[in-house]
Amino acid sequence: MYEELLPNIYRVKLPLPNNPLKEINSYVILAKTRNLVIDTGLNRQECADALLAGFAGIGVDIGKTDLFLTHMHGDHTGLAGLFQTAGAAIFSSAVDGDVIKRFSGSKTHSDWEEIKNLSQPHGFTANENDAAIEAHPAHKYAPEKIEAITAVKDGDCIEVGDYSLRCIFTPGHTSGHVCLYDSASKILFAGDHILGDITPNLSQWKVEETRLADYLGSLDKIAAYDVRLVLPGHRSMVADCRARIRQLKEHHERRNGEILDALSGCPPLSAYQVASRISWSIDKPCWELFPVAQKWFATGETVAHLCYLRDKGAVKMMVRQDKVEWIRA
């Protein structure tokens, strides 16, 4: 399914079967010389069929089309191999581009083992860890091997027909997330930085990272722009960008409060245990019934919040016997 949103800008909705996100929005900008596609679906047949059907309806020649990847996640990068085969330029940040190249073409890459080693100290059992990796969309549907990515820098502009797209680095959802902004039309291609009716996941496993602080800073960065319409990676478009930014910041403030309440009067807890004690928008009555993939994302986001609260002096991190635990300061 495709629709024209603005002159020569189309949205193609690609299915994400058995995924709570339901769909991903892939955007097509038509131009006389080379078109640009922003993000793809997973590397699975349902996504490829929907994307190619959209191209046929719009009249897109993939041989005259380049690709921009807002970030490294598999639901945004999975079909990059189609564009590489067609000789397209593939753009992303250098940080996420390196990850895309490293993880593409293989489900057994040693980096997956490193991720297991990073997440296990936060409370996952070895069996749950293995199951979470097996269920991870980026693992199950890895893109074909990507050989070359053109790295963009913050402030770079990509000219596509009547649109001049400014690259705005917005780390948080991933370390190298990039939004695209056209000042004339005041539209923002937001990837997963700003979503309309769900909150972007902010998972981290390395305790030295600052994923939540980065994300909040990136929200402030976008708030400085005059945005008329946000075109997100999932779900509905956003008409009031600054209002949505306020809501996202309030959500994370509430989550911080929930975590502090969960730690009140308790012995040290792992991030997994903390995540089991706070609220999540998942259609299951209790933590024990959460799919293991959702426990994975929830725990990773809890780590991001705990590290943020640690850096604010509100909680203390304790590392003992290869386990990371947390207590209120």
* Domains, the chain: 2-105+143-241 (3.60.15.10), 249-328 (1.10.10)
pLDDT of residue 293: 87
pLDDT of residue 126: 81
Please name the residue ranges forming H helices in 59-122.
Answer: 74-77, 80-85, 94-103, 110-119
Structure tokens, 321: 């016997």
Strand, helix or coil at 322?
coil
pLDDT of residue 269: 97
| Beta strands, E only, 87-138 | 90-93
| 277-284 contact pairs (CB < 8 A, 24+) | 278/302, 281/198, 282/20
Burial (Cβ within 10 Å: 0-12, 13-18, ≥19) of residue 222 = buried
pLDDT of residue 107: 58
- Rounded CA separation 44/140 (Å): 9
Burial (Cβ within 10 Å: 0-12, 13-18, ≥19) of residue 191 = buried
φ and ψ of 38, to 5 deg = -110, 105
State the pairing for strand pair 2-6/323-328. unpaired
Burial (Cβ within 10 Å: 0-12, 13-18, ≥19) of residue 300 = buried
**Cβ proximity of 144 and 84 under 8 Å:** yes
- Rounded CA separation 148/118 (Å): 28
Structure tokens, 259: 């975590």
CA distances from 235 to 24, 129, 215, 284 (A): 7, 29, 20, 21
**Cβ proximity of 24 and 16 under 8 Å:** yes
pLDDT of residue 55: 98
Structure tokens, 34: 């080379």
How large is the C-alpha radius of gyration of the chain?
A: 20
**Cβ proximity of 160 and 181 under 8 Å:** no
φ and ψ of 231, to 5 deg = -105, 100
pLDDT of residue 29: 98
Residue with tokens 């996640």: 73
**Cβ proximity of 105 and 162 under 8 Å:** no
Strand, helix or coil at 14?
strand
Rounded to 10 degrees, the C-alpha dihedral 107/108/114/118 comes to 50
Would you give the end-to-end CA distance of the chain in angstroms?
A: 52
Low-confidence residues in the chain, pLDDT < 50:
none
pLDDT of residue 303: 98
- Rounded CA separation 200/183 (Å): 24
Residues in contact with 12: Cβ distance below 8 Å, sequence separation at least 6, in sequence order? 1, 2, 25, 26, 27, 28, 50, 51, 54, 55, 58
**Cβ proximity of 186 and 229 under 8 Å:** yes
pLDDT of residue 109: 61
pLDDT of residue 143: 84
pLDDT of residue 314: 98
